[in-house]
Amino acid sequence: MIAMTIAEIAAATGAQLLRTPDAGLVITGLTHTDSRDVTPGDVFVCKPGEFTDGHLFAPAAAEAGAALLIVERELDLDVPQLLVDDAVIALGAFATELVSRVRALGKLKIVAVTGSNGKTTTKNLLRTILSAVGPTIAPRASFNNEVGAPLTMLELTEDTEFLVAEMGASGIGEIARLIAMAKPDIGIVLNVGLAHAGEFGGIESTVIAKTEMVSELTADDVAVLNADDPRVAGMAASTAAPVVWFGLGPNAAVRAAEVRSDAGGTAFLLTLASGESRQVRFRVLGEHHVMNALAAAAAAEAIGVGIDDIVTALESVELAERWRMQVLGGRDGVTIINDAYNASPDSMAAALKTLAQIRTPGQRTIAVLGEMSELGEFSGEEHDRIGLLAVRLNISQLLVVGQNARRMHISTINEGSWDGESSIVDTPDEAFALLEKAIQPGDLVLVKSSNSAALRFLGDRLGELFSW
């Protein structure tokens, strides 16, 4: 982060200084909420959590060399402390001040991305593209909420030219709060689906929340919107910014054509808003990730990155992120696709379609599916829909893991026309024991679920089992 004194950080966060003999001490380290990440000179935020309390880990942070603690109660530690009412709010205020200071230097551009699916992949693609142009900061993993986003912002330095901000939400107002910390120059909305619909209270509320990404943009900014998603396309009426459309249809300025998928990735013809076109061999598995590539390309072009640099960067990316369409295995011709970091109805359907698209003639396909969480009242019918999709795509075998996903199993066995098989087990361990015996040489296996179902670790175990 850029250098700030303890007194300046206290002023930004409205904090009371405790155990601070020198308020002029300069802080340049990173900010953390996990004491295991702390190194000498860093800031540790003692954030109370759902299951534990960050104050309990402050001694470990101090021992690791933390130069400053942000606390909600004074601690008996010989480390400067900033006492605040709410550590998360203070973290956001700290980030807001730091972003403002870097903005004042005149060269920072902020690109923010939201959507029901694809945020992390698009963020990673943008980081790859922009890092080749100038110093770029982007979130680790899925740091996209009121804690993760400001932690990323606090990594900014005087040299940073690009900040890629991933902005997630589970309710109205959450994206707006993140934008208040770091208003984007380019705001991207990928899609609006049923992910987190239960928390939002319905698809209409999801639209309102995602619209916050572009509603505060000015005429000097750029909105990058999905032309193929009617809910996203409707957001054009809510922004003062000029819109760059991306998609597969003819109305998109940045578009893909001649899309061809196989087990090695997806090839397509990329056309930018300038009219320039290039062939792309995109190694991230799954045709649905082409839309993420288009969004990243559209934002990069708006910043001024040329098509050759965009294509070179896109073709250099082999994996969107761990547990996202991650290809594992290989022994005995067995391929494991571990896509179990998260799941919504849209991403689950896309993964199943990819499984069907990339199989070779005669190859068996096995879908190992778990619960799609946070769907609320839509949960039952959406699990039914995924089960029926597995039948329609003629997936060879379905293994459902967990009783919360049972309706996928029931909907498939009720389809008398399907000649595949469906089974259900309660736990990932039971699934592993079954699959260890059931997987045959040459099989193509997809593992997909929401994070809460923990099937990502099952995917890792299968990948290791069939590794060389």
Distances (CA, A) of 123 to 115, 119, 362: 11, 6, 37
Identify any residues that bridge with 336 across adjacent strands, giving them in sequence order.
Answer: 328, 445
Whether 74 and 125 map to the same domain: the answer is no
Put the strands of the sheet holding 335-338 in their side by side order.
326-329, 335-338, 444-448, 365-369, 397-401, 421-425
Is position 335 annotated in a ligand binding site? no
C-beta neighbour count of 279 within 10 angstroms: 11
What average pLDDT does range 171-184 have in this prediction? 94
The two structure tokens encoding residue 414: 């009720």
Is position 121 annotated in a ligand binding site? yes
* Cα distance between residue 65 and residue 76, in whole Å: 16
pLDDT tens for each residue of 294-338: 999 999 999 999 999 999 999 999 887 888 899 999 999 999 999
Is position 115 annotated in a ligand binding site? yes
Q: Tell me, what's the pLDDT at 416? A: 66
Amino acid at position 313, single letter? A
Residue 98 belongs to some domain of the structure = no
Is position 152 annotated in a ligand binding site? no
pLDDT tens for each residue of 101-157: 999 999 999 999 999 889 999 999 999 999 999 999 999 877 889 999 999 999 999
Stated pTM of the model: 0.91
Single residue among 296, 316, 336 that ends a domain in this structure:
316
* Cα distance between residue 81 and residue 71, in whole Å: 7
Per DSSP, helices labelled H in 39-173 are: 58-63, 87-104, 119-131, 148-153
Question: Which CATH number do you get for residue 235?
Answer: 3.40.1190.10
* 61 CB burial (10 A radius; 0-12, 13-18, 19+): buried
Number of domain units in the chain: 3
Whether 301 and 330 map to the same domain: the answer is no
Whether 332 and 269 map to the same domain: the answer is no
* Cα distance between residue 61 and residue 410, in whole Å: 50
Domain extent, residue 41, equals: 4-86
Is position 437 annotated in a ligand binding site? no
Taking every pair of Cα atoms in the chain, the longest distance, rounded to a whole number of angstroms, is: 77
CB 386 within 8 A of CB 352: yes
Say if residue 207's pLDDT is above 70: yes
CB 186 within 8 A of CB 302: yes
Whether 371 and 455 map to the same domain: the answer is yes
Residue 447 belongs to some domain of the structure = yes
* Cα distance between residue 72 and residue 84, in whole Å: 5
Question: Which CATH number do you get for residue 41?
Answer: 3.40.1390.10
Residue 260 belongs to some domain of the structure = yes
Is position 342 annotated in a ligand binding site? no
Residue 276 belongs to some domain of the structure = yes
CB 331 within 8 A of CB 468: yes
What phi and psi, each to the nearest 5 degrees, are found at residue 210?
-70, -30
Q: Tell me, what's the pLDDT at 198? A: 57
Q: What is the average pLDDT score of the chain?
A: 94
Is position 33 annotated in a ligand binding site? no
